[in-house]
Chain A
Amino acid sequence: MITQALLRALDRKAIWLVAILFALAVAVPAANLLIPPGQPGHVPTYIVTLFGKYLTYAMLALALDLVWGYCGILSLGHGAFFALGGYAMGMYLMRQIGTRGVYAHPTLPDFMVFLNWKELPWYWQGFDQFWFAALMIVLVPGLLAFVFGFFAFRSRVTGVYLSIITQAMTFALLLAFFRNDMGFGGNNGLTDFKDILGQPVQAATTRGALFAASAIALALSVLVCSMIVNSKLGKVMVAVRDAESRTRFLGYRVEYVKLFAFTVSAIMAGIAGALYVPQVGIINPGEFEPANSIEVVIWTAVGGRGTIVGPIIGAVLVNMGKSYFTGALPELWLFALGALFIFVTLFLPKGIVGLLGQGRDMTHKQGQAPSPAAPSPPAQAAIAAELGEDPATLGDAQPKPAE
């Protein structure tokens, strides 16, 4: 039963994506560590870390796409799950500092000593163990999403109202984590990490390993998402997105379908956050900023929602643009991001992947009946064949006629 579901996930184009990600997981760290600097093919460590960060963003965007693109739940608070996973990892990393902190306290992190805390709060217990932290990385975002989703979906809160309360959720968490009394380092958050699993966080080998872990986690997320959206449940999710009440009259419990997607998505976002924190070296309440969650929506929209590969492309491309812009023309970045979103909404409703898919359809049509219209380059069509995937055609390999 489960093997069948796995095969269904793998026999689609997702297998290419998974293979590419696995190849990157090996090739990039290898090019960093084995090829000496200055030689062709060497990848500098900062690039490894930068793209490792992009991969965690891609995973977050993919998680959002599962609920938004496939199930029609526009969550404007997915950054909260990402940040919670990040905080769980940050707590583990803080406990690993041990006596190397500024105040050299054996158990208390620096900020607690500074705030005159006498002992470790109960919710910090256990975070010195990696397995416990790993469990919390999954459990905390998952549980929050489950409880939040249970009440929201059962009360049939949908559309823009749901978006607003997800936004309120992340904002409430932002305010809560800003408080010093919460015991999460307040304004400054958690930083000054030393070790992860006994390895120094700054070392090139650790950086490479974190990149590989991010690529593999993303590959596994692609597999999970592909398995879900190719299953009958995935079809029901799309049905919920397109005609919620009709799905209900077919006898499906729409609230549970949404709850499942939302919880799986939150767990994925939490894992992404946990991989993000050791690579950037800090987690602070700014990650709960509502604007961050909205940015995730933009990545997904730019790449192409309702596709597996779209959010990954969108997250990496937009963030590459962001890295460039914030360096070259820092004051223009937000305008560029806003303009990009408006442009995509108006002209590319299916994002970059949709554009590639259109190119494929055009060349496909020309193959059947040659027309004087401008031909798309065949290379683009080949990429489209690889990547372009519509939610509708995802279930079946049947080509969709172009409108």
Chain B
Amino acid sequence: MHKAQDTMLYLDGVSVAFDGFKALNNLSIIVRPAEMLAIIGPNGAGKTTMMDIITGKTRPDAGDVYFDGRTDLTRLDEAAIANLGIGRKFQKPTVFESHTVWDNLEMALKTPRGIFATLFYSAGGEDIARIEEILETVRLADRRDDLAADLSHGQKQWLEIGMLLAQDPKLLLVDEPVAGMTDAETVETARLLKEIAETRSVVVVEHDMSFVRDLATRVVCLAEGSVLAEGTLEQVSANPIVIERYLGR
């Protein structure tokens, strides 16, 4: 029986160094199917590096990274990993600014990614219905024909979450989803992510403590490339080491 069985994401003893700086140091994290995990930690704790490793942007120096209990992610490139069902939202919202909101979603939609399949693609009724559904979910239905460049910062964040949904991933990696959002938008985002986590695994990296509290889920605190504490937000934020190294700063 494989040790990674029954997990959606399995990181064991992952280390990576950049020019001698240990960005990740023996990091081990498990995410189960349909579970949400919030990751907090100071700047430079290795949160983004961890996401880079999961999505194939960076190769670890040591350690195991398994997806869905069996697929070794360290052997695959970004496109292959994305097609396995791992979606990523970046810290800085990166949507395709010279495309419309609709086109952004259409490109993200889970359809064959081959060159000729894409060249001769035309959206069928099912695809159109799915895009419309996502537009409703992320509240951009009335802006579908606007360029993504013309959206507000918060709307871009939402569009990117919509693109994640369109990819229909099994695992979502969400990096600082509420940066630059108003309080109302933040609450709404927490609600949306919780809804998504009912059927998919979600990993959220966030600094905003009230947002993490809204998520009401398991929390891992990273520092200097490894896990400092783990548990509910109350447990983690009561941990004296966490207070000293992160919250107290």
Contact = CB atoms under 8 A, between A and B. Distances in A.
A233 B78 contact: no
B21 interface: no
SS class, residues of chain A in contact with chain B: helix
Interface stretch (B8-16, B32-40, B103-111, B203-211): B103-111
A379 interface: no
A232 B100 contact: no
Interface string A367-398: 00000000000000000000000011001101
B115 A233 contact: yes
Interface string B226-243: 000000000000000000
B98 interface: yes
Residue in A8, A239, A257 with the greatest tally of chain B CB atoms within 10 Å: A239
A238 B79 contact: no
A20 B36 CA distance: 59
Contact of A232 (B83, B90, B97, B118): B118
Contacts, number: 93
Interface stretch (A58-66, A244-252, A325-333): A244-252
Contacts of A253: 79, 113, 115
A143 interface: no
Contacts of B87: 249
Interface residues of A, number: 34
B113 A392 contact: no
Contacts of A39: none
B78 A248 contact: yes
A228 B99 contact: no
Given A238-B96, A391-B98, A232 B107 contact: yes
Interface residues of B, number: 33
A8 B107 CA distance: 17
A318 B201 CA distance: 57
Contacts of B98: 238, 242, 391-392
Contacts of A248: 77-79, 82
A395 B103 CA distance: 8
B18 interface: no
A251 B106 contact: no
Contacts of A346: none
B79 A235 contact: no
Contacts of B100: 392, 395-396, 398
Contacts of B97: 242
Contacts of A252: 79, 107, 113, 118
A236 B118 contact: yes
A95 to B, nearest CB: 36
A2 B120 CA distance: 7
A292 interface: no
A251 B150 CA distance: 25
A249 B96 contact: no
A254 B107 CA distance: 13
B103 A254 contact: no
B119 interface: yes
A130 interface: no
A5 interface: yes
A155 interface: no
A334 B96 CA distance: 38
B139 to A, nearest CB: 20
Contacts of B167: 250-251
Interface string A6-47: 001000000000000000000000000000000000000000
B122 interface: yes
A400 interface: yes
A231 interface: yes
Contacts of A231: 118-121
Contact of B96 (A5, A232, A242, A257): A242
A395 B107 CA distance: 12
Contacts of A238: 96, 98-99
A102 interface: no
A401 interface: yes
A235 B90 contact: no
Residue in A4, A235, A243 with the greatest tally of chain B CB atoms within 10 Å: A235
A242 B88 CA distance: 18
A246 B94 CA distance: 7
A222 B8 CA distance: 48
B57 interface: yes
B68 to A, nearest CB: 16
A245 B107 contact: no
Contacts of A398: 100, 145
Contacts of B145: 396, 398
A392 B79 CA distance: 24
B90 A254 contact: no
A5 B120 contact: yes
A232 B78 contact: no
A398 B101 CA distance: 12
Contact of B115 (A1, A245, A257, A400): A257
B55 interface: yes
Given A391-B98, A392-B98, A392-B147, A235 B103 contact: yes
B107 A235 contact: yes
B79 A254 contact: yes
Contacts of B83: 251
6 contacts: A5-B119, A5-B120, A248-B77, A252-B118, A253-B113, A395-B100
Given A4-B122, A232-B121, A401-B150, 20 more contacts: A231-B120, A232-B107, A235-B99, A238-B96, A239-B96, A243-B94, A245-B57, A246-B96, A248-B78, A248-B79, A250-B82, A250-B107, A250-B163, A250-B167, A260-B115, A391-B98, A392-B98, A392-B100, A395-B100, A396-B100
Task: For the complex of A and B, list the 9 residue pairs with the smallest distance between their C-beta atoms, beginning with the closest.
Answer: A251-B82, A392-B98, A248-B78, A233-B119, A233-B118, A251-B83, A232-B121, A246-B94, A239-B96
